[in-house]
Amino acid sequence: MTTADAARDDDISPRPMPWLLIAATCLATFAITASGVTRAPFLINMSQDLNVSLAMVANLFGVTSIAWGLSSFVAGVGSDRIGRRPFLIGAPIALAGTLVGVALGQSFLSVAIWATLAGGCSGLFTGVSMAEIAGRVTDRQRGRALGWIMAGQSMTLLVGVPMASWIGASVGWRGVNYVVGALSLVGAVAMLATTATSSGGITAKTKSKPPRLRTALSGTVLRLLSCVIAERICFGLAAVYYATFMLQTYGLSLEVLALPLAIFAAGNILGTIGGGQLGDRLKNRMLTFAVALMVAGIVAVLLFGWQVGVSVSTGLGFAFMFFNALSRPSLMASLANVPPEVRGTVMGLNSTAASAGWLGAAAIGGWILSTVGFAGFGPFSALLAILGGILALSGRR
């Protein structure tokens, strides 16, 4: 791959993996991601408390995603100029403040404003943290390192949401925001302790040639960002609508649904960790991404089209999440393999593209559901997977 080949900024000898930094980033990432997804169990409670419709409260996810995507790009560009550390420490602190605002909001408008600001603060962290981790390891360690960070995101589905439900039973949805805010502050302290020095920022070496957006937006990077959008829509269709699919197809209770959802999330975590290993060991990362994503597309056809029983659909849900997650670390490692002076910008754009994919999944999924039904999800996901695979393989390795 042309951009990647030109971006070998580190030596080929392996460095020690920065495990303390990875652990701190996983913790902060867990808190950042939890700031949004832990709202899911309390939509009804929030609508009753704020005296608005359930649909209005659900729209908070959309505005949060938009703010997240926009701020990711801004933070990525900024981190290439002033360094990563101000964002890695400042974003979790700012997020904690906005979550207090959400908890104290007495009207839907005030809650919406604070939730939007929370999404913006979250976006200030995600892309920059991936750029920081990528800058601390060699190219052939990036799949594993970034895979662990993405596993931290996935843990919010497996652990964060159930814990929020349990805590919320005692302190309510407002109390959960206080708890996540406190966890975000702990994440900020962890980042402070593990980033005494950090990558990014204009140095004496790059001062004469400061980073430019045009440098980051090479043809290869744009192609990979298109792959990100295709993969995120494919993922989002299942992540957003899988629970509804299981409830409507098999008439499950919420208590019974908990196990399929846990298995579904476990597939994501295991696939992410395994994908990091593959991304560092196989020579052609784009082939790894394409094959895993296409297999996920095939599984999606079976998942939404072959409704023969709860056990089968649960197993297919696990398989879909596993193969989809298996593809992602290779894609992220390839995106990170750019010149260090534009790495923050590129990884920020990755988060922006991912947010666009999530919005696309929610909008397109709603349209498919209202016109075709769940049976349309599989073929559309397979089509996206094929498109993403073709885009991945269309350039040089």
Give residue 208's pLDDT.
47
| Whole-number average pLDDT of the chain | 86
Give residue 283's pLDDT.
83
Assign residue 154 a region: left if phi > 0, alpha if psi is -120 to 50, beta otherwise? alpha
Distances in Å between the Cα of 351 and the Cα atoms of 116, 125, 265 are 16, 10, 21
Give residue 5's pLDDT.
41
**Can you say whether the dihedral through the CA atoms of 337, 271, 33, 359 is positive or negative?**
positive
* pLDDT over 50 (residue 6): no
Give residue 213's pLDDT.
66
E-strand stretches of 90-129: none
Instruction: Spell out the residues 6+ positions from residue 188 whose beta carbon is closer than 8 angstroms to its own.
Output: 28, 89, 90, 92, 93, 96
How does pLDDT run across 136-158, given as a tens digit for each residue? Answer: 988 888 989 998 988 888 888 77
Take residue 8 and report the two structure tokens written for it. Answer: 């070998």
- CA 372 to chain CA centroid, Å, is 28
How does pLDDT run across 277-288, given as a tens digit for each residue? Answer: 988 888 889 999
Mean pLDDT score, 101-124: 94
- CA 142 to chain CA centroid, Å, is 16
User: What structural domains does the chain harbor?
Assistant: 2-198+218-393 (1.20.1250.20)
Contacts 24+ apart (CB under 8 A), 106-109: 107/50, 108/50, 108/51, 108/52, 108/56, 108/57
Decide if 269 contacts 324 (C-beta within 8 A): no
* pLDDT over 60 (residue 13): no
User: What is the Cα Rg of the chain in Å?
Assistant: 20
How does pLDDT run across 179-234, given as a tens digit for each residue? Answer: 999 999 999 999 999 997 656 555 445 454 555 666 677 888 899 999 999 999 99
Give residue 87's pLDDT.
96
Mean pLDDT score, 117-134: 94
Q: How many of the other CB atoms lie within 10 Å of CB of 277?
A: 14
Mean pLDDT score, 286-304: 95
d(CA 388, CA 224): 9
Start-to-end CA distance of the chain, whole Å, equals 4
Distances in Å between the Cα of 319 and the Cα atoms of 117, 229, 268, 309, 333 are 35, 21, 9, 15, 23
pTM above 0.85? Answer: no
d(CA 100, CA 97): 5
Mean pLDDT score, 24-30: 94
Give residue 319's pLDDT.
97
Take residue 104 and report the two structure tokens written for it. Answer: 């104290």
